[in-house]
Chain A
């Protein structure tokens, strides 16, 4: 059984090493169990496996390669693996871009690897909350940080549209203020401040910016928001110099499944921070 899978996966990796006859033989002997098992072997089952495949740190059966194995970090194996790590139903990533990326990360002189603890990657989760009778989705940005001897994921930032519009300066901001003699009237003009809606922030200290995590926490604390479930997760990688890619989990039939590259961008100078800000919805 394992032999078949191994053969099959090797044939995936090295499509020209097996002639058509053998191929048909294997196909015709497949039971549904074997077919399913094959797709589970092919699936990139964990983000951890994505990283190990990207780096060629495991064999086709998912068994870790020892660092003195000739296949460990082998650029040929990496080329084959990384080619499989793309969502092949995504036509927005051109073949040219894909091969430029693969060639860049596998070049013998300067290979580029992924490192779980290397930073410059983060998660984006879409979480469903109940807000009264309303169902809302809030994006939580998850960051891996070191603590003591180990590490942990923390909520680094959030994105929730209503929190975004709490305050913004506009053309009229300059004319909204409490005049310097308001104190003589016991600040009776605060009335105007609290009727100003979106502009209330104009009356706060200079440089004020609403802290979204604090508002989020407050709403959780007073049960305005109630956690429902995580409806989706993706990860953004900026670890490879000059590149950005995003990975998403695909739960679908076939062999191209699991954690796959769903977006790839070649970064020009200065683009990296802009893109990070864009993902975080930061201005």
Chain B
């Protein structure tokens, strides 16, 4: 899809025409939620689940060098840009934007409401230099910084593994990180938020912030009636070899999980409850 004049102008300000020996090829391609699947083969739903608004794709070429693909995702707000960046991170550094990672020919970072992916089709010393130069240019041309989701800031810091932080709105990801069901048993919808992190003591902590208090109470009641009768005694319990504890502090629902022991739950729960007050 060819860029509209408005889109072209906006993204032209973020991207250089050339970097080192690489030059822009063809017109920029602009994608929206309705046609993102034409660009990302099968993976569009991931970005749509994070509130994707618009994508600008540009290819840079250089003689006898692998192409470099640059994708600038406008995720609508900084929370979603942070969320999609953190989705598959292993090691986060601060080289570019508000967090970045480089893995063998692939550099990605987030800043403000943007998530930026730079991919060299093969890694060479020259492509690596070009990727870093491109990232620096784009970083410089996004003037504002965005806020990390406030829910993420509620995660207790002691023992937290920074690269394990996840932030999302879709139940598929909740079921992926902590498998309790195939179904959407927590009734997660787009306007709900979830922050998740792992701790050095082996605990996974999940905070679900429902859009309204009544929904959190309703979900709690349904869970205790249908899936987790253990919730009525408000103590850790064992399910499929995993220790679990749920805690309701409307509109927040907290889930703690640990494969080995529920012993870390009490301290962690106290910390999180204080932060949510």
Does chain A bind chain B? no
List residues of chain A with CB under 8 Å of any chain B CB. Answer: none
List residues of chain B with CB under 8 Å of any chain A CB. Answer: none
